[in-house]
Structure 1
């Protein structure tokens, strides 16, 4: 065990004062950051009134919307006529087509109709005088022979009684609305209805094997058009999913992002040389251009899209212009900062040979700045694919407008899911392509 005397201790303290005489910030800086973060979090909870917000939120809608992303429903309506007969009606644009005969709907010998909402565990039987709903292991009769529907027996928790209506909630499987003269059933199915062929197509409701057989070797459905051409035309012009319009708008979004980024980089490149202090020794010009870049990028792309939509009307031109203006400011700032951080020795060496300014820039500056330009431009291009989707919602064209139209109806959430998945795929592909291209141009290995 080594003993250190007072003189030796004083010598060590003198030699390493940073370890023995730490400032208040060094000693308590970490603790102060933790306390400040905690206080700010408490302030945010109070400012946004988060307890009330969470208490009043409609969390049940999350499940409803998510279920509608991956499913569709069929809504048959059973009208009880005066003579006791029951007429079955479907909405005008039913996923089952114009003349549906589903196997989950059975006409019974006694004139009643049985509907399997979810297998044998959730069924509805509609007759002249009563409707029987079976769910959760019990059957609940609802008398409809008098002036208002009346539940016979105790009312289960999944059934709600109103003055002129009884509503049975069968969970994800659907629901049943019972009144005196009609019964409405919502039956939910997993999947996307008629995603390939809509109800107006000649191939609608045909098994996949039969469709392939018709396309490969079957007789022509339309004498003036091959079955393959007809099938592709029906898919492209699907009235329910609108594949043609969706893919066209998606291509518009990609073109908007590419064109806006390309024009922005071309405009920012020469301006950045004039904005860099070490390249252009004119402080007035430097400051004017840097403030110009700040102005362009401080106005959000969405705001530029609103302005340009008013000026040029809705369409991809306004979207490309909004991206161009934003990217001129963003890339101009990034390029100029990259130029100001270059090593001046190569540039000075080339200048000492008496080379022209263009050659000095070409061989003394460009080799240093190209990696920054390539990296930042490709990143912005990838980012603008996402940005072009958002600005499309304000009328700037592209798939964003299509997505907004589908969301506004609050009924086409499966179409929303379809477009969101397409956008995610495109962003993923552009991210991968951008990374690969960046590493290839910069001569580095992708991880």
Structure 2
């Protein structure tokens, strides 16, 4: 191999200087790209105030919401009367079950004689046919006036005079109105309640918040739960890990029983309901569980699946013929091509969520609005993808079919479809999988399905375990459909490569 001498290199450099010199971009491109990236990150950090957001974020609330997804709460309300006595009440549907008497609440009960004031009752108004005398009023009128006066009644009642709520092994709330003492670990907080509202007798620790003087005090106990102190009550939310009542609600005769006990009752136990077998009763209690509403949730999930499938199917059916008109190498009419392509752009330029709002207003809430939104959006997207696939086919196969005198339809059938059909099917399967997720989102705006059910549960800001349940079901469906779609696409594209 001949090598160039120094004089030869100088001659070449003099004639072609650009070959031996590098540009500024070539020398500093990595530094320029890195610097631009750093400047962009700094700009985004400043423009979106990321530092301020992270600094002011309440990470404790985020942890509480996350804990609500995997737990349930028992929620006693301890009302405080003006005389300092208390009453402990659980809501009707509290997961603690009927006749609650938890061991984490210690209450001192006393029977007191109390005088209850009965408010005045309105005098009955009756029609009378007898004459009225202005001179001599009747005795009935005097008795009616006396009946409207207020009266008092003496009763014996069992009340709570002192209570201790154990949130966990180290945290507790002691109620001795008008003073409430809260202990969390080694820290203590004393609060006074009365006509002036709620007053902290010492500086509030980090786990206690009060928005304004006299307002309620919020207490955070981590995963154990939280409580709020009002001037007339203490509301306790004690948290437990798990989903209580997931299979049977507190109103079910199977509530609180182990799986072994339920199985024994179903297999050989005496009938609980004379008109229904224990198996049928257990299935009925599970499906119509008022707390978890399994049957309704599954029905809404099926609506979402059907909504995604039907919307994608209609979009594929309509986009298929339109893509042949939009493809320039199939339909050689530029105005027609552009008209169909602009129609595709119009359909896909507006997000599916916006179309869902539009069709919900047009058709009313329900799956029809969701199907229409998916169909309308995906027709434009699939039409564009199909037309581009058609424009990139190998014309040799089509020319070969045309050379034997085949009709135009036969040319498309045997010269075009074998090339693009696997691509069309693969793209349709991908959109079907993607729309299964999208149908959940558009359902939240009234398009039906489990999305609407999910939004209703989130709006309560209390049933986060139900939200987690529906999210888990959605994830399972998405995983299954993703696996099916990937398997079918791999099979289709594999057949195409082998052909």
Task: Find the aligned partners of 2:477 and 2:265 in 1 and give their Cα distance.
Answer: 33
Q: In structure 1, what is the Cα distance between the partners aligned to 2:196 and 2:355?
A: 60
What corresponds to 1:198 in structure 2? Answer: 249
Deviation at 1:214, TM superposition (A): 1.1
Q: Which residue of 1 aligns with 2:409?
A: 358
Hey, what's the Cα distance between the residues in 2 that align with 1:405 and 1:145? 37
Bigger shift: residues 167-176 or 219-228: 167-176
Task: Tell me: CA distance 1:340–1:112, structure 2 relative to 1, closer, same or farther (3 Å).
Answer: same
Of 349-358 and 146-155, deviating more is: 146-155
Q: Give the equivalent residue in structure 1 for 2:43.
A: 43
Separation in structure 2 between the aligned mates of residue 345 and residue 165 of structure 1, nearest angstrom = 80
Unaligned runs of 5+ in 2: 111-160
Match of 2:133 in 1: none
Aligned length: 443
Q: Is residue 117 from structure 1 mapped to residue 180 from structure 2 by the alignment? A: no
Deviation at 1:45, TM superposition (A): 3.0
Counterparts in 2 of 1:184 and 1:409: CA distance versus 1, 3 Å: closer
Aligned match of 2:292 = 241
* TM superposition shift of 1:351: 0.6
Separation of aligned partners in 2, 1:225 and 1:370: 54
The equivalent position to 2:185 in structure 1, one of 100, 120, 136, is: 136
Q: For residue 384 of structure 1, what is the aligned residue in structure 2?
A: 435
Is the Cα–Cα contact under 8 Å of residues 423 and 493 in structure 2 kept in the other structure? no
**352-361 or 146-155: which moved more?**
146-155
**Whole-angstrom CA distance in 2 between matches of 1:112 and 1:277:** 85
Distance in 1, Cα, partners of 2:15 & 2:267 = 89
State the match for 2:318 in structure 1.
267
Residue pairs, 1:247-396, within 5 angstroms: 247-396=298-447
Aligned counterparts of 1:347 and 1:122: Cα–Cα separation in 2: 80
C-alpha RMSD of the superposition: 3.2
Q: Determine if contact 1:73/1:186 at 8 Å carries over to the other structure.
A: yes
Rg larger for: 2
Contact 2:64 2:222 in 1 (8 A): no
| Partner residue, 2:263 | 212
Query: Structure 1 30/147 Cα, relative in aligned 2: closer, same or farther at 3 Å?
Result: closer
**What is the match of residue 53 of structure 1?**
53
Residue 339 of structure 1, CA deviation: 0.5
The answer on 1:409 being equivalent to 2:456 is no
Distance 1:17 1:421 in 2: 66
Change (3 A) 1:113 1:193: same
User: Residues 227 and 280 from structure 1, CA distance in 2 versus in 1: closer, same or farther, beyond 3 angstroms?
Assistant: same
Instruction: Report which stretch shifted further, 155-164 or 229-238.
Output: 155-164
- Which has the higher mean CA deviation after the structures are superposed, 203-212 or 296-305? 203-212
Task: Go from structure 1 to structure 2 and tell me whether the alpha carbon gap of 1:409 and 1:165 turns closer, same or farther (over 3 Å shift).
Answer: closer
Deviates more, 1:328-337 or 1:80-89: 80-89
- Which sits farther off after the overlay, 302-311 or 94-103? 94-103
Change (3 A) 1:397 1:84: closer
Range moving further from structure 2, 406-415 or 123-132:
123-132
Query: Residues 130 and 145 of structure 1 are in contact (CA less than 8 Å); yes or no, is this contact kept in structure 2?
Result: no
- Whether contact under 8 Å (1:257, 1:388) holds in the other structure is yes
Distance 2:72 2:87 in 1: 23
Q: Counterpart of 2:101?
A: 101
How far residue 232 of structure 1 moved from its aligned partner, in angstroms, is 1.3
Distance 1:173 1:257 in 2: 41
Structure 1 residues 274 and 211, CA gap change in structure 2 (3 angstroms): same
Q: Does 2:87 match 1:87?
A: yes
* 8 Å CA contact retained: 1:112, 1:127: yes
Q: Which runs of 5+ in 1 are unaligned?
A: none
